[in-house]
Amino acid sequence: MRYAHEVGKVRAAEQALMARLPEGALMQRAAAGLASTCARLLPRVYGARVVLLVGGGDNGGDALYAGARLARRGAVVEAVLAGSKVHGPGLEALRSAGGRVLDGSGQNAERAVETADLVIDGLTGIGGTGALREPHASLARCTEYAEGVVVACDVPSGVDAGSGRVDGVAVRADVTVTFGTYKPGLLIDPGAAHCGVVELVDIGLGADLPDPDVVAPWAEDLRVPRPAPESDKYRRGVVGIVAGGERYTGAAMLCVGGAVRGGAGMVRFASSPHPVELVRQRWPEAVATVIEPAPDAPAKVGRVQAWVVGPGLGTDRKAETLVEAVLRTDLPVLVDADGLTVLARRRDLLRRDAPTVLTPHAGELARLLGPGTTRELIEARRLEHVRRAAAELSATVLLKGSTTLVAEEDRPVRVNPTGTSWLATAGTGDVLSGLAGALLAAGMPAIDAATAAAYLHGLAARLAAAGPPGPDGPDLGRQAPISALDVVTALPEAFRTLG
């Protein structure tokens, strides 16, 4: 698991630790970690050309001290100062070690950045706010043309450490060396996409850090239910799916597919005649029943342990009756797609005791949260909005997007580390809701079911996009377009990677 803390909590922990340490000791730990990573990235430190981009705060201080350490080992280190404010003792240390300062503007600095063996980005760290100003923005931009390795100090400059938001230009690092704990912005896109490989340097903050605000699980942190010898279909979990209509049948097929391949002991599918007929043909494993849109519809379907309602259901009165009927049961319910649109006008239906999981994308969440919230706003501030949604809607909220987030009130937000841009295609959401429903029916707590579903779904998409594995496993570097059905097909392979 990777743990991330909000910026205010990082600062508080740093203060508490600094009070017990000699002055400057913490910055020396950070600089030592940064310098040692840089030394590993260079074929040879002696004679290597290193350029430091130095902002006016402590992030610049870290870069200067790391530069001094590399200069003492024989590297040729040049610092480009952004503005007149600079960390004095750090600059002094660099000069004493034989480093020099370049003029911060113009082609001189740009050429140095482009031709260096290694560039350390120390423009802004957790103190950066808003879009980078000049000359920081221009310096950040010229790292794009750097031929050498770009190493971000703590956070790639231009990325908002607390949220991952990027307003304007941000450094695209090959490696980010972060101190003490991850920051949420290193795990959440677009920030995460700017980090390259993230290395965490232990500066001793551990005991002073509170519980994390955001966590990103690895495969080994996830457990999916595995059938025991005494398992039967009921113990493995029966999921009920209410989806599709006479006009839209694809969503229902994909949702059932996600549930069947998601390990459900049995899938009970309930809908109008046409989708029921199609599901019978395509997924003979599912038990399909024709239902009328009436309050007693769930009771007619038979025994289930969790419900999925919404994909392809439509948003009319009939759909509303079904969404209401399912939410009135005392079982875990996952609401997706059209079901969420219905909920946006019937938020009263969320007052229930059993777990509710909502799986919106940003547009659906904007509708759910009501006036004043837009899709654009949610896209820009995903962490804040997924938390708000979990609290206001009293539900487990899985916000889909380039980084899928899962939130439940008073718990760290889970960040899904798998996924690929190829997933942004019609129908993949229906697969996810069926899969998550199967895991819910198996008895997983809502937040764990949603987290594992997002993980498996993203991984299945990556595996599908990469094609059949070569001798070294799937080649994720050569991906191709996929369909939602390909994701269904790749789910078993994704399951095999989990414990």
Ligand X SMILES: NC(=O)C1=CN([C@@H]2O[C@H](COP(=O)(O)OP(=O)(O)OC[C@H]3O[C@@H](n4cnc5c(N)ncnc54)[C@H](O)[C@@H]3O)[C@@H](O)[C@H]2O)[C@@H](O)CC1
Q: Is 300 annotated as a binding residue?
A: no
Q: Is 427 annotated as a binding residue?
A: no
For the beta carbon of residue 481, count every other beta carbon within 10 angstroms. 9
Please report how close the Cβ of residue 227 comes to ligand X at its closest, in angstroms. Answer: 48
Q: Is 385 annotated as a binding residue?
A: no
Please report how close the Cβ of residue 210 comes to ligand X at its closest, in angstroms. Answer: 17
Listing DSSP states for 161-179 in one string gives TTT--B-S-----SEEEEE
User: CA geometry: angle at 339 spanning 282 and 361, to 5°?
Assistant: 95
- Name which of 126 and 368 has its Cβ closer to ligand X: 126
* 197-203: long-range contacts, CB 8 A cutoff, minimum separation 24: 199/33, 199/37, 199/175, 200/2, 201/29, 201/30, 201/33, 201/34, 201/37, 201/177, 202/33, 203/17, 203/26, 203/29, 203/30, 203/33, 203/179
> Who's near 339: CB < 8 A, 6+ residues apart?
309, 310, 311, 313, 319, 323
* Virtual torsion, Cα 432, 438, 442, 443, nearest 10 deg: 50
- Name which of 157 and 428 has its Cβ closer to ligand X: 157
Q: Is 157 annotated as a binding residue?
A: yes
58 binds, among K ion, ligand X, none (CB under 5 to 8 A by kind): ligand X
Residues 142-161 that bind K ion (CB under 5 A): 152-153, 157
C-alpha distances (whole Å) from 421 to each of 166, 186, 460 are 18, 18, 13
As a whole number of angstroms, the distance between CA 21 and CA 167 comes to 36
Q: Is 24 annotated as a binding residue?
A: no
Does a cis peptide bond (omega within 30 degrees of 0) precede residue 135? Answer: yes
**Binding residues for ligand X, per CB under 6 A?**
14, 18, 26-27, 30, 55-60, 62, 85, 124-133, 136, 153-154, 179, 203
- Name which of 13 and 260 has its Cβ closer to ligand X: 13
Residues 112-131 that bind K ion (CB under 5 A): 121
Tokens coding 52: 């430091």
Please report how close the Cβ of residue 75 comes to K ion at its closest, in angstroms. Answer: 19
Query: Does 338 interact with K ion (rule: CB under 5 A)?
Result: no
Q: Is 60 annotated as a binding residue?
A: yes
- Name which of 124 and 418 has its Cβ closer to ligand X: 124
Please report how close the Cβ of residue 390 comes to ligand X at its closest, in angstroms. Answer: 29
Q: Is 127 annotated as a binding residue?
A: yes
Please report how close the Cβ of residue 157 comes to K ion at its closest, in angstroms. Answer: 4
Please report how close the Cβ of residue 172 comes to K ion at its closest, in angstroms. Answer: 12
Q: Is 126 annotated as a binding residue?
A: yes
157 binds, among K ion, ligand X, none (CB under 5 to 8 A by kind): K ion
Q: Extract the runs of DSSP E, i.e. beta strands, from 380-453.
A: 396-399, 405-407, 413-415
Residues in the chain: 499
Known binding-site residues for (6S)-NADPHX equal 58-62, 125-131, 154, 251, 312, 361, 430
Binding footprint of K ion on the chain (CB under 5 A): 121, 152-153, 157
Known binding-site residues equal 58-62, 121, 125-131, 154, 157, 251, 312, 361, 400-404, 429-430
Known binding-site residues for AMP equal 400-404, 429
